[in-house]
Structure 1
Amino acid sequence: MVMQSSNPVLTRPIEAPVVLDQRRGLTLDGVCGRTLVLIAVTVACAAAAWNLLQAPAWTGIAVIGSTLATLVLALVITFKQITNPLVISGYAVLQGIFLGVVSRELEQQFPGIVVQAVIGTFGVFFAMAALYRARILRASKRFTQVITGALLGILLLSLVDLALRLFGRALPIYQAGTLGVIFAVICIIVGALTFVIDFDQVERAVAAGLPPRYGWYLAFGMLVGLIFLYWQILRLLSYLRR
């Protein structure tokens, strides 16, 4: 069975055997449960990093190390189509460390910004779920191609910006200002629309009766989407506060 999976890192086809006995296959509740587990792991690690990694030296190491590690691990999970919960949970741990440190720094500068970003993230997520359930938004082939292309473009720009920051520079679209605000809004819109593709993939996977272990791969995609959206909203709010 071949399916297309989408998340803000890359898009890869899922190749999985079909389970003829639907009662033993993947379920929507199974995907939701796995997604909640990954969110819980991310939040727990973010809280730990927030409270424990407060020394400037540790902060820098945590941000750079977790950024590079999560990028590599996300690519490995995507290309290898890994369904091992320990590996995918490792991604959640690393993302939690990054988000905890960065969120703390921004919260110290702009009190209340983290709560606003969390509310905004889940507000957008549930709004997109409602639009998908009402069949207002559908993941057509053209829609998927456009959103995937936009995500890859954002990823490329992020890598360029990361490289420039190593030399003390940065792209204007990743700095406070008109361009930064506009680009952040675009990223939020793209991030929100990725959920339409993810919902479609979950629906198709359940209908196809894929093995339950593929729920971890789909949950990984959901987690990546939520983290991507949270970071973009947090970035936009920080620009507006300045």
Structure 2
Amino acid sequence: MRTTSNPAFRKLPEMAGGYANFNYGGSPQGYGQAPAAPPQAARPMTIDDVVTKTAITLTLAVITAALTYLVGPPAVVLALPAALIALVISLVIVFTKKVRPALVIAYSAFEGVFLGGISYVFGSSFGSAIIMQAVVGTLGVFAAMLVVYKTGAIRVTPKLTKWIIGAVAGAAVLMLINLVASFFTAGGLGLREAGPLGIGFSLLCIGIAAFSFLLDFDAADKAIRSGVDAKFAWYIAFGLMTTLVWLYLEILRLLSYFTSSD
């Protein structure tokens, strides 16, 4: 059973009992056969690999975001194309059968351009202070959930996993319905408007994103313990970044609600 809702981590193959070593050239094991010895990875992935690759992707995203933000008004024009390109790259990363670090790096760069453009829009409308507040809030939630996971305050169980996956899917469906409804009615269902409903929905999304980190940490932990190849740390970094981006956008939106109500 997979233990994460993040599509990036679905690239990690499974065996009975969780994530296992990647199969290089061996035939798949069928039911009823004796378990085969796990293949030897070129170099087993370590926590240092995950930290290093995650730092590289985040640093690149921050740099491109900052440069885009400093460009000014043209950043607004760059945001949508960059978001579409990042989406296409992310789909390739998720569905390809081969680790491609270059694609993860490219995804980080374009995602940074998108974040820089969106941040410029929010900063121009609600003040530049909202950007730093959202960044601090995102890092704070990430650090808090890492402590929660490491201390075992909340254990990742099959029941919790199913709940979080269902919550992510439900939130995505609601956002899609709200988007479609906005084509016919101003504000759609009101899920993205500055009001009690919009604030409540953003808080819900922030909570779901925060709990998603637990699944991401657990998937990375199991991958490390099972001895997967070190290059798969790029997938871990990609998965963590997608959750960070979602969390940042939700916090930024929530802060804008309170700012607009001042």
TM more than 0.5: yes
Residues 157 and 74 of structure 1, relative CA distance in 2, 3 Å threshold: farther
Distance 1:38 1:237, change over 3 A: same
Q: Which has the higher helix share?
A: 1
Mapped contact 1:6–1:221 kept (Cα < 8 A): no
User: What is the identity, as a one-letter code, of the residue corresponding to 1:33?
Assistant: T
2:117 counterpart (80, 101, 104):
101
Q: Does 2:246 align with 1:228?
A: yes
Counterparts of 2:153 and 2:56, CA distance in 1:
29
* CA separation of 1:236 and 1:19: change in aligned 2, threshold 3 A: farther
Give 1:155's aligned amino acid: A
Matched, 1:175 2:193: yes
Structure 2 residue runs of 5 or longer lacking an equivalent are 14-21, 24-37
CA distance in 2, matches of 1:66, 1:144: 32
Normalising by structure 2, we get a TM-score of 0.81
Q: CA deviation at 1:4?
A: 4.9
Matched, 1:91 2:102: no
Pair 19,167 (structure 1): closer, same or farther in 2 beyond 3 Å? farther
| Structure 2 residue corresponding to 1:129, chosen from 146, 149, 171 | 146
- The root-mean-square deviation of aligned C-alpha atoms, in Å, is 2.4
Gap regions ≥5 residues in structure 1: none
- In the alignment, which of 83, 86, 92 is matched to residue 76 of structure 1? 92
Moved more, 197-206 or 79-88: 79-88
What is the rounded CA distance, in whole Å, between the counterparts of 1:143 and 1:229 in structure 2? 19
1:3 Cα offset (Å): 5.6
Q: Quickly say closer, same or farther: Cα 1:82–1:109, change in 2 above 3 A.
A: farther
Residues in 2 aligned to 1:195 and 1:166: alpha-carbon distance in whole angstroms: 33
| 1:18-39 residue CA offsets vs partner (Å, 9 max, x unmatched) | 5536x92000110011001000
Matches of 1:47 and 1:196, distance apart in 2: 28
Structure 2 partner of 1:149: 166
- Deviates further, 61-70 or 28-37: 61-70
Give the letter aligned to residue 99 of structure 1: L
Counterparts in 2 of 1:93 and 1:158: CA distance versus 1, 3 Å: farther
Are positions 1:198 and 2:201 aligned together? no
| Partner SS for 1:24 | coil
2:63 equivalent in structure 1: 44
- Is the Cα contact below 8 Å between 1:46 and 1:99 reproduced in 2? yes
Q: Is the 8 A contact 1:6 1:148 kept in 2?
A: yes
SS for the counterpart of 2:73 is coil
State the partner residue of 1:210.
Answer: 228
| Larger of the two Rg values belongs to structure | 2
CA–CA separation in structure 2 for the residues paired with 1:11 and 1:211: 14
Taking the aligned partners of 1:234 and 1:176, their CA distance within structure 2 comes to 12
Identity %, equivalent residues: 33
Post-superposition shift, 1:180?
Answer: 0.6
Aligned mates of 1:117, 1:209 — CA distance in 2: 36
Separation (CA, whole Å) in 1 of partners of 2:3 and 2:161: 10
Report deviation, 1:151. 1.4
Query: Are the counterparts in 1 of residues 82 and 113 from structure 2 also a CA contact under 8 Å?
Result: yes
Residue equivalent to 2:130: 113
Shift of 1:234: 0.4
How many residues matched?
Answer: 236
TM-score (norm 1): 0.88
C-alpha distance in 2, partners of 1:180/1:200?
Answer: 31
Q: Give the superposition deviation at 1:72.
A: 2.9
Opposite residue 12 of structure 2, the aligned amino acid is I
